């Protein structure tokens, strides 16, 4: 099984820190950490519902994907990511609420 190393853009780091520091968002923060754990160890985990975002490209033209941190929840959180830089690395671009 491939284990990925996660890198965070400044935006994603800020998104995660905001959730961590907001006591009213503990459940959301916990769901995001769980999702990130699955992304490190099993990108095919069914709860991630990972799919490609056709309208976005990474900074070097990479395909961009969305993984579900929550599902069937108003304002559910999603993790936006792409492969690289390098093999075995995933860059977390943003952690956002689904519109």
The pLDDT tens digits for 8-46 are 999 999 999 999 999 999 999 999 999 999 999 998 899
Whole-angstrom distance, CA of residue 6 vs CA of residue 83: 10
Distance CA 80, CA 51 (A): 10
φ and ψ of 13, to 5 deg: -60, -40
* Number of domains the chain contains: 1
| 8 Å CB contact between 35 and 48 | yes
User: What predicted TM-score, i.e. pTM, was given to this entire model?
Assistant: 0.92
Q: What is the CATH number of the domain that holds 44?
A: 3.30.2310.20
On average, the pLDDT of the chain sits at 92
Q: What tokens appear for 96 in the block?
A: 């956002």
Beta strands in the chain (DSSP E): 5-8, 51-57, 63-68, 77-83, 89-97
Find the domain containing 93 and state its range: 5-97
Looking at residue 74, its pLDDT comes to 75
């Amino acid at each position: 099984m491939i284990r990925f190393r996660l890198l965070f853009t400044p935006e994603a780091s800020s998104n995660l820190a905001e959730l961590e520091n907001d006591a009213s968002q503990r459940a959301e923060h916990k769901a995001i950490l769980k999702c990130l754990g699955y992304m490190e160890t099993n990108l095919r985990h069914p709860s991630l519902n990972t799919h490609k975002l056709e309208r976005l490209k990474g900074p070097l033209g990479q395909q961009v994907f969305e993984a579900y941190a929550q599902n069937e929840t108003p304002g559910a959180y999603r993790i936006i990511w792409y492969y690289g830089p390098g093999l075995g690395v995933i860059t977390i671009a943003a952690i956002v609420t689904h519109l």
